[in-house]
Amino acid sequence: MRRRIRKGMQCYKIIKKIGEGTFSDVVKTQNLKDGKFYACKTMKQTINSLEQANNLREVQAMKRLSPHANIIQLHELIFDKETGTVSLICELMEMNIYEFIQGRQTPLPDHTVKNYMYQLCKSLEHMHSCGIFHRDVKPENILIKQNVLKLGDFGSCRSVYSKPPHTEYISTRWYRAPECLLTDGYYSLKMDIWSAGCVFFEIMSLNPLFPGSNELDQVAKIHDVLGTPDQTLLQKFKKSRAMHFNFPLKKGTGISRLIPNCPAPALSLLYQMLAYDPDERIAAETALRHTYFREIRMAEKKADTLHRGSGTLDGVGSSVIQNSLEHIWRPTRLGKQLRGRHTRQTPLISHNIKHVADPLIRRNVPHYPTELPKLNMVVPGQQISFPVSTMPTFSVTHRGTLPAITSKKCQSQLAKPRDESRRAAFKTYYMPPLDRKHGGY
């Protein structure tokens, strides 16, 4: 694999392949100029122009969300005009959450779980406040390097202001919220919270919470644990569903029986994240203020006070902050044995961490950047005129007018829902099983 990347990426050398998805391949690369390592995500679909490449939903989302300590950073976009290939050069991290917990025999320490979940909630709070929801939060899309967690793979994201119905089959089945399963695409950003709750349980128990084999089995597994929802709630779902469904009454075993050693605050947050009714489900911003994260918030507040008092973090001030956070951000040995359950596709993985955590980020920082970050646009072969000094500016108000993230129709296959051919069958009077394996696409 130690060969140079195709024309257009002469500055990078392939080290090894680290992931493959439905629409992209990911390889570990090395920049030949500075020797740093990156993740290169190359789209399988071709693009006609650099303008269309920059209008891809994933590219727009990464620009709008950057910079943030818990969001994958896009360093460079490379468009090869001769082949129509788009490559995203991103930071490289060690592994994803699925790889981290795969094959483990003992549960993770509570402070490690708390650390990762706090950062995951911070990434979702930032996304949602910027008017974007992810739609595919799962262990494979959550990347870590020691104590730092970052959310990646924004190819499925949508604007919170886009009107439903949305694509039905978007999130991976095991992490799909009830409103995604029981309606014709009438869901919102709260689906990300449900998915994060499923990830929360999986990090604590080392096993998936709802590993359904098909859509009907997925609903049944949710009801086995949480019980059958009230008829009033089901009636609300039926208003946007071209089918009838009547589920047998179940009380549900409850989540606490599945993780008997779970601390009470963690169990409280977990139940609020997995509320069946999306209107009752906790928001990411509220989750950050939950009692479960009280210790981390106090450490952040103390660190911020010391920082403002000393002006800079050097000498004694830096050591005091480090000591105050040591028991929370203590490094965890990463289990790298890849054995256990089935192989699942690994998404974009990233690198070059500058912060062990983000305790010094203040809550009063504006959510909406007035100008997008500058990216180095490389156009090989025949040069395309493109301004690299500035990026387009987002004019954002807080009145629900955030522009939707829309990409130009340069890829006909990407524009169509993956399971469009199955929608007609899905809207009948029963939920037929789909040919998907192990919670994947």
The residues pairing with 378 across neighbouring beta strands, listed in sequence order, are: 78
Query: Dmax over Cα atoms in the chain, in whole Å?
Result: 68
pLDDT, tens only, 205-224 = 999 999 999 999 999 999 99
Query: Locate tokens 């000591």: which residue?
Result: 323
- What SS3 state is found at 30? strand
Taking CA atoms, 84 is separated from 44, 380, 384, in Å, by 10, 11, 13
pLDDT, tens only, 92-128 = 999 999 999 998 999 999 999 999 999 999 999 999 9
pLDDT, tens only, 16-32 = 999 887 788 999 999 99
Return the pLDDT at 193: 98
Question: Does residue 315 surpass a pLDDT of 60?
Answer: no
Looking at residue 72, its amino acid is: I
Rounded CA gap, 121 and 273, in Å? 11
| Orientation angle between helical segments 110-129 and 264-273, nearest 10 degrees | 30
Rounded CA gap, 298 and 287, in Å? 15
Rounded CA gap, 255 and 271, in Å? 8
Catalytic residue (one of 136, 277, 358, 435): 136
Question: Does residue 372 surpass a pLDDT of 70?
Answer: no
| Orientation angle between helical segments 294-310 and 316-325, nearest 10 degrees | 180
pLDDT, tens only, 253-281 = 999 999 999 999 999 999 999 999 999 99
136 part of the active site: yes
Non-local (6+) Cβ contacts of 101 within 8 A are: 108, 139, 202, 203, 206, 335
Question: Does residue 292 surpass a pLDDT of 80?
Answer: yes
Non-local (6+) Cβ contacts of 236 within 8 A are: 277
Mean pLDDT score across all residues of the chain: 77
Q: Which of 43-57, 78-92, 161-175, 271-285 is most confident?
A: 271-285
Q: What is the DSSP string of 69-121?
A: TTBPPEEEEEEETTTTEEEEEE---SEEHHHHHTT--SPPPHHHHHHHHHHHH
| 8 A C-beta contact, residue 126 and residue 62 | no
Question: Does residue 4 surpass a pLDDT of 60?
Answer: no
Rounded CA gap, 243 and 192, in Å? 25
Question: Is 41 part of any known ligand binding site?
Answer: yes
Q: What does pTM read for this prediction?
A: 0.71
Residue ranges of E strands in 108-201:
132-133, 142-145, 148-151, 158-159
Return the pLDDT at 8: 58
pLDDT, tens only, 138-180 = 999 999 998 999 999 998 999 998 887 777 666 689 999 999 9
pLDDT, tens only, 418-428 = 444 444 444 44
Rounded CA gap, 141 and 147, in Å? 16
Pairing mode, strands 142-145 and 95-96? antiparallel
Q: What is the DSSP string of 256-310?
A: TTTSTT--HHHHHHHHHHT-SSTTTSPPHHHHHTSGGGHHHHHHHHHHHHHHHHH
Domains and CATH numbers, the chain: 8-91 (3.30.200.20), 95-297 (1.10.510.10)
Rounded CA gap, 361 and 231, in Å? 44
Q: Rounded mean pLDDT of 279-308?
A: 94
